[in-house]
Structures are given as structure tokens and as C-alpha cells.
Amino acid sequence: MPNTDYYPGWGDESMKLYLKKLEIHKNEGLQMLQKFCAQTNNANINTEFIQKVGSPGSIICNLAKEWNADLIIMGRQGLSGITELLIGSVSNYVLHYASCSVYTTFY
């Protein structure tokens, strides 16, 4: 069988560039979380954070269960109808699958 490239344009160089950008994005997210955590701790609000990769809705629900959370507070874009059906919604997933109360607010 010939060596077939199933994903044209997705060679070694493309993969290296993708992984480099992913690492940069991950580090920027980590720095942002550290900054927000420091700000809230300076305001005498005890906070901690975790950065995970995966399906956001299920990660949020699993962490809430693991931490025995009483409440999840999260923003929501206000998608509705066919738009939410087609692209989904993290907040909608969390509203339906969280093991605790969920408060959403539009941003």
C-alpha cells in the first residue's frame, strides 16, 4: 500500500507549529489564571485554580463533584434555539449535568 497522506498539508512542520502555538496558548492561560487568583487573594477571597484540557462542560461538572461544590457561577453568551442546538453551549451542559446548583449570567 502506498504511503498515503490522509491529511494533506498536515506534515511534521505543521504539527510542530501547532504544538508550539498550543504551548504558548496554554502558558498565556496559566498566567491569566495566576493573575486573577492573586487579585482575589489580595482582596481576602481564598481562591485556587486548575487548568485542564478537554471538554469544558464535563470538566467543570467533574471538578464540582470532586470538590463537593455547592454552587457553580459562570457566564453565558445567550445562545438560543437553532444556534445553541448546532454549536452547543458549555453553560447549557453544566446546567443539565452539574451535581450542584448553577448560576448563569449573561456577559
What digits encode the pLDDT tens for the residues 54-106?
Answer: 999 999 999 999 999 999 999 887 666 666 666 668 888 999 999 999 998 88
Q: Is the pTM of this model over 0.85?
A: no
Delimit the domains of the chain by residue range: 8-51, 52-107
pLDDT single digits (tens) 19-50: 999 999 999 999 999 999 999 999 999 888 88
Show contacts of 76-84: CB within 8 Å, 24+ apart: 76/104, 76/105, 76/106, 76/107, 77/106, 77/107, 78/106
Q: State the pLDDT at residue 6.
A: 63
CATH number corresponding to 52-107: 3.40.50.620
Residues making up the chain, counted from first to last: 107
